[in-house]
Amino acid sequence: MDEQSKRLVVNAITLGRVPFVVLFMVLAVIDGYWPAWWLAVLATASLAIASLTDLYDGKLARKWNVVTKFGAMADPLMDKVFYLVVFPTLLWLLGRQPHEAIHALVMLVFTVLYILRDQWVTFLRSVGSLFDADCKANWLGKFRTAASFPSACVIYVYVSLHPWFLPQALIFLIEAFLIFVNFWSIVVYTRQYMPYLKRALDKN
């Protein structure tokens, strides 16, 4: 396989996150109206495949030495698409279950926090880019993504199937941990970009 083909494969994997995430949403909503175990399984599989694309696109890009600026820009955008589709879907599903009212409120806070964190980091990177800052994701951002994707799969399995091996307390613990990671990420990124924020506040 030549270098151009390798780049196409890697970028296709990155962009492929979107159709699988949308497919998850469609299947999850259908299952919400007409519950069927096989719909939940298909939705979980779609979500899992979408999660795996985040692992393999970067891994292959480094292995084949085809890391591109497009990929560096597209990958975090695809992560945002994942959060913007998956977490509101989980919130909608919880809202349809009367016994999960408190859980739905937690998921609302969870979802809003994810969106606000991503918008804030995007703003920080925009400011940093004005001064030629290195705007690559730091280790905590990568950890947040690596933890969020499988956690979303686990939360969906709980919401859709309520299996005995996933007690609500465990799901709350996972969500609380991710909320903490998001707050931690906001602090770390803000400290990282603080010099550029100060420079941006100076007079031209």
Domain hosting 16: range is: 3-201
**Cβ atoms 94, 107 nearer than 8 A:** yes
In this prediction, residue 140 carries a pLDDT of 92
Average pLDDT over residues 158-166: 95
Report the pLDDT value the prediction gives residue 203, as an integer from 0 to 100: 64
Q: Residue 9's Cα: distance from chain center in Å? A: 21
Consecutive H or E run containing 3: helix 3-15
| Least confident window among 43-52, 80-89, 127-136, 170-179 | 127-136
Cα gap 71→65, rounded to integer Å = 12
Q: What is the pLDDT of residue 204?
A: 64
Residue 17 and residue 82 in contact, taking contact as beta carbons nearer than 8 Å: yes
pLDDT value of residue 57: 87
Region 59-86: what's the mean pLDDT? 89
Mean pLDDT on 167-196: 96
pLDDT for 4 equals 83
Residue whose entry in the numeric block shows the structure tokens 């906001």:
186
Q: How many domains does the chain have?
A: 1
Neighbour tally for 2: CB within 10 Å:
7
Tell whether the model's pLDDT for residue 76 goes beyond 70. yes
User: Nearest to residue 151, comparing CAs of 122, 186, 182, 120?
Assistant: 182
Q: What is the per-residue pLDDT across 40-52, written as a single tens digit (0 to 9) for each?
A: 999 999 999 999 9
The predicted-structure confidence for 13-41, as pLDDT tens digits, reads as follows 999 999 999 999 999 999 999 999 999 99
Is the per-residue pLDDT at 80 higher than 90? yes
By C-alpha distance, which of 125, 116, 186, 181 is closest to 149?
A: 181
Do residues 141 and 185 touch, judged by C-beta distance below 8 A? yes
Count the helices and strands in the chain (H runs, E runs). Answer: 7, 0
Give every CB contact of residue 121 below 8 A, 6+ residues apart in sequence.
141, 185, 186, 189
Tell me the per-residue pLDDT of 57-66, one tens digit each, with 9 for 90 and over. 888 888 888 8
Mean confidence (pLDDT) of the chain? 93
Confidence of residue 91 (pLDDT cuts 50, 70, 90): very high
For residue 78, what pLDDT is reported? 92
* Cα 100 from Cα 13, distance rounded (Å): 35
CATH code assigned at 124: 1.20.120.1760
- As a residue count, the chain comes to 204
Q: Which residues have CB under 8 Å from 135's CB, separation 6+?
A: 125, 128, 129
Q: Other C-beta atoms within 10 Å of 133: how many?
A: 16
Q: Calculate the alpha carbon distances from 4 to 15, 59, 60, 68, 75 in Å.
A: 16, 17, 13, 11, 18
Written as six digits, the tokens of 144 are 């947040």
**At residue 121, does pLDDT exceed 70?**
yes
